[in-house]
Amino acid sequence: MDKERIEELKNFEEIIFYTFNDINLLDNALIHRSFANEKQENSCKDNERLEFLGDAVLELCISEILMEKFPDYDEGQLSKLRASLVNEKPLAELAKKFHAGDFLLLGRGEEFSGGRAKNSILSDTFEALIAAIYLDSGYEKSYEYINNLFQSLIESESDKAVYRDYKTSVQEISQNRFKVIPKYSLISEYGPDHDKIFQIRLSISDVISTTGIGKNKKEAEQQAAKKAIEKLEKNG
């Protein structure tokens, strides 16, 4: 590894807020197979083995984080939430946040075809980076790093999952039992623009009517949907 590459990797360490004990691990994480194939040197290995390991490390850490954060969630809820976090799009977004594409070693073909911006390559690179950190410092440090990195995304995705689950559930019940789709209507909104409160009514024909209140329409709708499910379950 030449001095210029070492300097690049040092700059990347500052961006990702992690300093490697073995910088060769970081270098390996940023070598795409197209570059390794062109080099055809035994010493130049691509990041695919690291990607394989990183996928497993990431899934284990996220699983543990979600179990600790959501003790009341069942296996199905945890699986859905994990799947929304550990997939190509969010991982690629995190890689973009780190400007990982700027530090990748790519073959000429991938370079010309815009490989530095491809979600598939960036998400794989992110997984390889996680594996490099794991091999460099062990599970506890990796867990801490992933936990800090994913907290805001977990909050966002867990909110979406709640909205999706309640509204989907009440719609399924309504269609199966009454052959209609629930209707949501805005009753009122009040408060200053920066701190509005919304009140939403959910109605299922003339059978069920509930209201929900929230700081946005989605929150109010999910509260109304939750109340409707409770009524429907109570009435059998």
Residues noted as catalytic: 55, 127
Cα three-residue angle 123-36-119, rounded to 5 degrees: 15
Give yes or no for a contact between 224 and 210, defined as CB atoms under 8 angstroms apart.
yes
Residue 208: both structure tokens together: 């069920």
Token readout for 60 is 């284990």
One-letter amino acid for residue 3 of the chain: K
What is d(CA 217, CA 189) in angstroms, rounded to the nearest whole number?
Answer: 9
**What are the distances in angstroms from CA 162 to CA 27, 91, 124, 183, 208?**
40, 22, 29, 18, 21
Helix and strand tally (H, E) in the chain?
Answer: 10, 3
Residue 5 CB contacts under 8 Å (≥ 6 apart), including other chains: 27
Q: Token digits for 77?
A: 């809820």
Match 């790519």 to its residue by tokens: 106
Specify the DSSP element, H or E, that contains 93.
helix 88-97
